[in-house]
Amino acid sequence: MSDIKIKKLTRASKGKARAIHANIDGENHLVGFGNLRVVIVEDDGSWFAQGLDIDYAAQGSTIDEAKDNFARGLRATIDQHLCSRANIRSLLRGAPAELCQHLLLDSSFGTAQLELLSQVSAHHVHEAMPFKQISYLVAVAAAA
C-alpha cells in the first residue's frame, strides 16, 4: 500500500467548518466535512437546504427529506469533484454573501433553521478525468 497523502483544508478557525481530504492511493479517497452550516427554509411548500460554508444546496418536501437530499447530493458532488479535478478545493467556496443574507434575513421565509452537518465518505475514483484522449479519424484521399 502506498503512503496516504492527507490534505487538510480548513476554511475557518476553531469551531467553524472544516474539511479534510485523504488521497490514499490515487483511486481511493476519504473526504470529511465537520460543522458545515446549513440553513433550512420553507419556500412555497418545499424545504430548501443551503450550505453557507460551501455553495451547495438541495431541497425536499419535508425538512428531513431536504437534509437527506443535501447529504446524499453532497456525496455525489464530492465524487464529481474527485473525478474531474482529483481534489475538493473548488467545492470549498462559501455561498455568495447576498444569498446568505437573503436566506437568513428575508422575513418571507419565516424563521430560518440552522443545522450543522458533519459527514465522512469514502470514494473510489477509477481515473482522474473521465476522458483520456481524443480519437481522430482522418479520411484518406481516394487513390487516383
Interatomic CA distance for residues 51 and 35, integer angstroms:
11
Helix (H, G, I), strand (E, B) or coil at 118: strand
What are the beta bridge partners of residue 36?
A: 117
CA 43 to chain centre: 22
Please give the pLDDT value at position 15: 57
What pTM did the predictor assign?
0.70
Of the pLDDT bands very low, low, confident and very high (cuts 50, 70, 90), residue 78 is very high
Query: For the residues 102-117, what does the mean pLDDT come to?
Result: 68
- Say which residues have a Cβ less than 8 Å from residue 135's Cβ, sequence separation at least 6: none
Query: For the residues 18-43, what does the mean pLDDT come to?
Result: 87
Of the pLDDT bands very low, low, confident and very high (cuts 50, 70, 90), residue 73 is very high
